[in-house]
């Protein structure tokens, strides 16, 4: 018994000496990414190439043994072909991209002045303003969405105020439409745009603005010629942080949007839980993952280009 324990201890000590404590600690994030990101993605890819059946789980295996000796791999591309030939799925892709793009632009238009104002504010108020930006994250995401239902519903706060002021005679249809969904998404993800923009704008040397004024630029022209180009890394980072979750958003369009508006998130939910079509839902998820990863890769590429230009200068 003692010999077995000694061998185990000796084996563990050998591993620590071989890999080192530092390397072992560094490997923890990679192990986490592999277990909780790469492995689930591989499982989704496997399901997306399978066929739908009435069973538990409701899909076939893509690997079979024939006569116990021959390994056969069967990949079903029909799930992906369906996504690009069926008008319903194409409409869902287009709607999700349009909503996510519109919300990203709105967040940029609203977030840039806020980030600029926070960056130019005095040290005394800067921390308070930043705290107000992140304050919504202290409450539940679902509660914040339901707060908009209270405001926008036919018997909600906004309609009641307008009716009491005599501005309208009947409640306005402020909810259950695409505009309400976009409003909720912009509200939910606006801080993700403000914080990267603030981080980029804060590092700008404002003596460049004074130099632009001396060269005859108006304040508006100097702003677009100096501040906007130097804040481009924050613009790309903030746009990616907003576009990525917005394109797959399910909760906000489901609660605030129109039931007839198809989005990728709603299609994935319906295929998984209503139709029990796991292969189609998995294929949708993989396509969604591509849409999610692409902006991140572009943002990282832009960051590398900016860093290369700074080093060359």
- All structural domains of the chain, each given as residue ranges with its CATH number in brackets, are 2-73 (no CATH), 80-312 (1.10.3720.10)
Q: What is the mean pLDDT of residues 5-17?
A: 62
C-alpha triplet 237, 198, 207: angle, nearest 5°:
115
Alpha-carbon distance of 151 to 17, in angstroms, equals 62
More confident residue, 108 or 273: 108
Q: Which two tokens stand for residue 266?
A: 């709603």
Closest CA to 75 of 99, 50, 92, 97: 50
Q: Which two tokens stand for residue 76?
A: 């079903």
Q: Do 194 and 242 touch, CB atoms closer than 8 A?
A: no
Q: Which of 14-28, 74-88, 174-188 has the highest average model confidence (pLDDT)?
A: 174-188
Burial 6-22 (b: 16+ CB within 10 A, else e): eeeeeeeeeeeeeeeee
More confident residue, 10 or 305: 305
Residues in Cβ contact with 79 at an 8 Å cutoff, skipping those fewer than 6 apart: 48, 49, 279, 280, 282, 283
**Of the candidate ranges 70-79, 129-138, 148-157, 280-289, the one whose mean pLDDT is the lowest:** 70-79
Q: Identify the pLDDT of residue 283.
A: 93
Q: Identify the pLDDT of residue 53.
A: 83
Q: From the centroid of its chain, how far is CA 121?
A: 29
- pLDDT interval class at 60 (50, 70, 90): confident
Q: Do 230 and 197 touch, CB atoms closer than 8 A?
A: no
**Of the candidate ranges 9-13, 90-94, 135-139, the one whose mean pLDDT is the lowest:** 9-13
- pLDDT interval class at 16 (50, 70, 90): low
Q: Identify the pLDDT of residue 239.
A: 92
- pLDDT interval class at 1 (50, 70, 90): very low
Q: Identify the pLDDT of residue 3.
A: 57
Q: Do 161 and 143 touch, CB atoms closer than 8 A?
A: no
Q: Which two tokens stand for residue 186?
A: 């912009």
Q: What is the mean pLDDT of residues 21-34?
A: 76
pLDDT surpassing 90 at residue 28: no
- pLDDT interval class at 11 (50, 70, 90): low
Q: Identify the pLDDT of residue 12.
A: 61
Residue 265 buriedness (CB in 10 A; 0-12 / 13-18 / 19+)? buried
Mean pLDDT of the residues in the chain? 86
pLDDT surpassing 90 at residue 198: yes
More confident residue, 200 or 58: 200
Q: What is the mean pLDDT of residues 42-46?
A: 91
pLDDT surpassing 50 at residue 2: no
Q: Identify the pLDDT of residue 158.
A: 93
Closest CA to 79 of 307, 301, 285: 285
Q: What is the mean pLDDT of residues 20-37?
A: 78
Q: How many CB atoms lie within 10 A of CB 311?
A: 7
Q: Identify the pLDDT of residue 98.
A: 95
**Of the candidate ranges 17-21, 91-95, 233-237, 278-282, the one whose mean pLDDT is the lowest:** 17-21
Q: Identify the pLDDT of residue 136.
A: 86
Summarised one tens digit per residue, pLDDT across range 232-269 is: 989 988 998 999 899 989 999 999 988 888 899 899 99
- pLDDT interval class at 17 (50, 70, 90): low
Q: Do 79 and 282 touch, CB atoms closer than 8 A?
A: yes
Alpha-carbon distance of 310 to 313, in angstroms, equals 5
Q: Which residue has the tokens 């287009």?
A: 94
Q: Which residue has the tokens 């993605």?
A: 41
């Amino acid at each position: 018994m003692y010999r077995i324990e000694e061998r185990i201890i000796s084996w563990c000590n050998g591993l620590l000496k071989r890999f080192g404590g530092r390397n072992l600690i560094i490997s923890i994030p990679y192990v986490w990414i592999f277990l909780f990101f790469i492995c689930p993605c591989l499982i989704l890819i496997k399901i997306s190439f399978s066929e739908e059946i009435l069973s538990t789980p409701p899909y076939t295996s893509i690997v079979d043994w024939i006569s116990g000796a021959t390994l056969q791999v069967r990949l079903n591309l029909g799930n992906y072909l369906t996504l690009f030939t069926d008008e319903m799925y194409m409409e869902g892709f287009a709607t999700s991209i349009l909503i996510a793009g519109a919300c990203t632009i709105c967040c940029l238009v609203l977030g840039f002045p806020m980030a600029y104002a926070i960056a130019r504010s005095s040290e005394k108020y800067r921390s308070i303003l930043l705290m107000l930006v992140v304050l919504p994250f202290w409450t539940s995401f679902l509660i914040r969405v339901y707060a908009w239902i209270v405001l926008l519903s036919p018997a909600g706060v906004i309609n009641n105020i307008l009716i009491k002021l005599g501005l309208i005679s009947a409640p306005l249809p402020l909810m259950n439409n695409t505009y309400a969904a976009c409003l909720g998404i912009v509200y939910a993800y606006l801080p993700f745009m403000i914080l990267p923009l603030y981080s980029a704008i804060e590092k700008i040397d404002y003596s460049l603005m004074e130099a632009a004024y001396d060269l005859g630029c108006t304040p508006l022209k100097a702003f677009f010629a100096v501040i906007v180009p130097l804040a481009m890394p924050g613009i790309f980072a903030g746009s990616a942080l907003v576009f990525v979750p917005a394109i797959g958003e399910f909760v906000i369009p489901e609660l605030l949007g129109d039931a007839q508006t198809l989005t990728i998130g709603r299609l994935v939910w319906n295929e998984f839980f209503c139709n029990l079509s796991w292969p189609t839902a998995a294929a949708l998820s993989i396509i969604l993952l591509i849409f999610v990863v692409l902006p991140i890769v572009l943002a990282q590429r832009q960051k590398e280009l900016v860093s290369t230009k700074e080093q060359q200068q």
